[in-house]
Copies of this chain bind each other. A is one copy, B any other.
Amino acid sequence: MAAHLSPLNDFFAGRRVLVTGGLGFLGSSLALRLVEFGARVTVIDNLHPLYGGNRFNIADVADKIEVVQDDVRNLEVLKPLIARSDTMFHLAAQVSYIDSLSMPYEDLDLNARATLGILESCRTSNPQMRIVFSSSRMTYGRVEGPLVSESSPTNPLSLYGIHKLTAEKYLLMYYKDFGIPTTVLRLTNPYGPRQQIKHSKYSLVGWFVRQAMNGQTIRIFGDGAQLRDYVYADDITDAMLRCAATPAAVGEVINVGSGQSTMFRDMVSAVIKCVGRGGADFVPWPENYERVETGDIAVDISKLKALTSWQPRYALDEGIRKTFDYYSQHATHYV
Contact = CB atoms under 8 A, between A and B. Distances in A.
B162 A169 contact: yes
A176 B156 CA distance: 10
B172 A155 contact: yes
Contacts of A166: 112, 162-163, 165-166, 169
> How many chain copies?
2
A60 interface: no
Interface in A142-157: 151, 153-157
Interface string A293-315: 00000000000000000000000
Interface string A96-126: 0000010011001000110010001000000
Nearest to A120: B104
Chief secondary structure at chain A's binding surface: helix
A233 interface: no
A156 B167 CA distance: 12
Given A108-B113, A108-B116, A116-B105, A177 B157 contact: yes
A202 interface: no
Contacts of A44: none
Given A155-B176, A162-B166, A166-B169, 7 more contacts: A101-B177, A105-B116, A112-B166, A154-B154, A158-B177, A162-B169, A177-B292
What 8 pairs across the A-B complex have the smallest Cβ distances?
A: A162-B169, A166-B166, A177-B291, A104-B116, A156-B169, A104-B120, A108-B113, A157-B176
